[in-house]
Structure 1
Amino acid sequence: MTFQPYVPTGGLAGWRFLQNTIASQKDAFSASAVVQRDMEYFREKISDVETPEQLVNDFRLLSVALNAFGLSEDINNKFLIRKVLEEGTLDPEALANRLSDTRYRDMARAFGFGDFPVPNTALSDFPDRIAARYVDQSFEQALGNTNNTMRLALNAQRELVNIAEEDSSNRTKWFRIMGTPPLRQVFEGAFNLPTSFGTLDLDRQLTVFEERTEAAFGTSDISELAQPETLERLLDRFAAVAGLTASFGTQVTSPALVLLRGF
Structure 2
Amino acid sequence: MTTLSTYLQIANNQSLWQSMTAKQPDVATQTQYFEDNIGKVQSVDDFMKNDRLFNYAMTAFGLGDMTYAKGMMQKVLEQGVSDNSALANTLNNANIKAFATAFDFADNGASTTSSSTLVDNVVSRYAEQSLEDNQGQQNPGVQLALYFQRNAPSITSVYGILADSKILSVVQTALGISTQTTSQSIDSQAAMLTSKLDITDFQDPKKLQQFISRFAAMYDYNNSGSDANSQSSLLSTLFDSSSSDSSFGLDSSLLLSVQGVRFNSF
Q: TM-score, normalised to structure 1's length?
A: 0.79
8 A contact 1:103–1:180 mirrored in 2: no
Query: How many residues are paired up?
Result: 236
**2:9, 2:139 → 1: CA distance?**
13
CA 1:205/1:122 → structure 2, altered by over 3 Å: closer, same or farther?
same
SS of match in other structure, 1:193: coil
In the alignment, residue 176 of structure 1 is paired with which amino acid? G
Equivalent residues in 2 for 1:139-154, closer than 5 Å: 139-154=131-146
Unaligned 5+ runs, structure 2: 241-248, 251-266
Counterpart position of 1:54: 46
1:189-237: CA deviation from partner (whole Å, max 9, x where unpaired): 2112222322333332222212112xxxxxx142x33212101110011
Residue number in structure 1 paired with 2:206: 229
Residues 73-110 of structure 1 show CA distances to partners (whole Å, capped at 9, x for unaligned) of 12222212212211222223322223243311111111
Paired position in structure 2 for 1:5: none
CA deviation vs aligned residue, 1:91-145 (integer Å, no higher than 9, x gap): 2332222324331111111111234445532323211111011110111112112
2:169 corresponds, among 168, 178, 185, to 185
Q: Distance in 1 between matches of 2:108 and 2:165?
A: 28
In structure 2, C-alpha distance between the alignment counterparts of 1:115 and 1:53, rounded to whole Å: 15
State, as a whole percentage, how many aligned pairs show the same letter.
26
Q: Which residue of 2 aligns with 1:196?
A: 180
Amino acid aligned to 2:203: A
| Candidates 226, 230, 239, aligned match of 1:260 | 239
> Structure 2 length as normaliser, TM-score?
0.78
Shift, 1:23, TM fit: 4.6
Q: Does 2:223 match 1:246?
A: yes
**Partner letter of residue 214 of structure 2?**
R
Residue 65 of structure 1 deviates from its aligned partner by 0.3
Partner of 2:83 in structure 1? 91
Deviation at 1:19, TM superposition (A): 3.6
What residue in structure 2 maps to residue 168 of structure 1?
none
Q: Which residue number corresponds to residue 261 of structure 2?
A: none
What's the counterpart of residue 105 of structure 1? 97
Deviations 1:128-166 (A, max 9, x none): 1110111101111121122111111112212223x16xx
The gaps in structure 1 that reach 5 residues or longer are 1-8, 165-171, 214-219
What letter is aligned with 1:31? K
Note if contact 2:105-2:112 (Cα within 8 Å) is conserved in structure 1: yes
Task: Decide whether the 8 Å contact of 2:42 with 2:109 is kept in 1.
Answer: no
Distance in 2, Cα, partners of 1:177 & 1:119: 34
Match of 1:63 in 2: 55
C-alpha distance in structure 1 between counterparts of 2:188 and 2:105, whole Å: 36
Which of 50, 62, 68 is residue 76 of structure 1 equivalent to?
68
Tell me which of 107, 124, 128 is aligned to 1:132: 124
User: What amino acid sits opposite 2:187 in the alignment?
Assistant: D
Q: Return the alpha-carbon distance in structure 1 between the equivalents of residues 157 and 42 of structure 2.
A: 31
Match of 1:167 in 2: none
Query: Of the two, which has the highest radius of gyration?
Result: 2
Following the alignment from structure 2 to structure 1, what is the Cα–Cα distance between the partners of residues 125 and 104?
Answer: 16
Q: Which residue identity lines up with residue 165 of structure 2 in the other structure?
A: P
Greater CA drift, 58-67 or 110-119:
110-119
Over the residues paired in the alignment, what is the CA RMSD in angstroms? 2.6
Residue identity in the other structure for 1:226: Q
